[in-house]
Amino acid sequence: MDISGLTDRTFDAVIFDNDGTLTDSTDAVVRSWMTWADEHGVPRERLAGMHGIPAEGIIARVAPHLEGGPALERITQLEVEDSDGIAALPGAVAAIEALPGRCAIATSATAELAHMRLAAAGLPEPTVLVTFDDVEHGKPAPDPFLLAAQRLGVDPTRCLVVEDAPLGVAGARAAGCAVLGLTTTTPADELDADAIVETLADVRFVVDGDVIRVTSAEA
C-alpha cells in the first residue's frame, strides 16, 4: 500500500465514510438485506455490488416494481434492529480522536441507523454527522461531502475523504476532495483514490498548527 500521493499535501479537515471505513457492519448489513430480499421475492444475487449506495437507491435498482416507501421502511427496520457483531475497524477510534473538531462522517445510512452503528461499535461521534436524511441526493452525488465541508466551515477542496466504496470515492471526487481509499470491502484496483491502504491502522492523522497531515503509521 502506498500513501505517497498524500504525504506532501495538507488538509483542513477529514471526512470519513462510516460502514466499511470506521465500522465493520458487513455481517449485519448482509443479514438484513438477505431477509429483505427473501420477504420481497427479490433474487439475492441482485444485491451484489450495491455497497455504498443508499437503501432507497438499492431498492430502486433491484426492485423498481415495489412501492418505495414501505420497502424502505422495512429495510430500515431490519437494519436498525440488527447490531450483532458490529465493531470498530482497526485504527478508527484513533483516527477520530486525533482530529477533534476537524473531522466529520458522511454516510449513506439514515440518522437513526448511523447513530446505532456508531454506538454499537463504540466509536466517538464527531460534531458533524451527515446522513441520508440530510441530503437530496446521496452518494455517488457529491452532496454528502459538500454538506459535511460546509458544516465544518472549510472548502471541500481542502478536505480529505476516507472511503471504501467506489461510489463513495466518485462522490468525493465530484465534490473536489482528495481521497484515501481503504481495501476493507473493495479491491485496490477498483478505488480511484489518491492513496490506498488496508485500514485506518496504516495511517496517522497529525494536526500540525492549522493543517492536517497524513503519515504512515510506521513513520
DSSP symbol at 151: H
Confidence of residue 48 (pLDDT cuts 50, 70, 90): confident
Nearest of 16, 18, 42, 10 to residue 145 by alpha carbon: 16
Residue 14 C-alpha cell reads as 477529514
The whole-number pLDDT of residue 29 equals 87
Portion of the chain with pLDDT greater than 90, in percent: 83
The whole-number pLDDT of residue 219 equals 64
The whole-number pLDDT of residue 161 equals 98
| Radius of gyration in angstroms for the set of CA atoms belonging to the chain, rounded to a whole number | 17
What pTM value is reported for the model? Answer: 0.88
Question: In this structure, what is the dihedral angle of CA atoms 95, 101, 107, 111, given to the nearest 10 degrees?
Answer: 120
| Paired sense of beta strands 203-208 and 211-216, if any | antiparallel
Q: What is the mean pLDDT of residues 71-88?
A: 92
Catalytic: which of 2, 12, 19, 24?
Answer: 19
Q: Torsions phi, psi of 156, nearest 5?
A: -60, -25
Q: How many CB atoms lie within 10 A of CB 49?
A: 11
Catalytic: which of 2, 8, 17, 155?
Answer: 17
Residue 216 C-alpha cell reads as 504512515
Chain segment 141-157, per-residue pLDDT in tens? 999 999 999 999 999 99
Structural domains of the chain sorted by starting position, each given as residue range(s) with its CATH number in brackets: 4-25+86-216 (3.40.50.1000), 26-80 (no CATH)
Q: Say whether pLDDT at 2 is over 90.
A: no
Q: What residues does 162 pair with on adjacent strands? A: 16, 180
Across the chain, what does the average pLDDT equal? 94
CA distances from 46 to 37, 68, 125, 201 (A): 9, 17, 33, 33
Catalytic residue status for 210: no
Chain segment 35-45, per-residue pLDDT in tens? 999 999 999 99
Four-residue CA torsion sign, 85, 103, 204, 190: positive
Q: How far is CA 67 from the centre of its chain?
A: 27
Chain segment 165-219, per-residue pLDDT in tens? 999 999 999 999 999 999 999 999 999 999 999 999 999 999 999 999 999 998 6
Catalytic residue status for 164: no
Q: Are the CB atoms for 138 and 132 separated by under 8 Å?
A: yes
Nearest of 128, 213, 163 to residue 21 by alpha carbon: 163
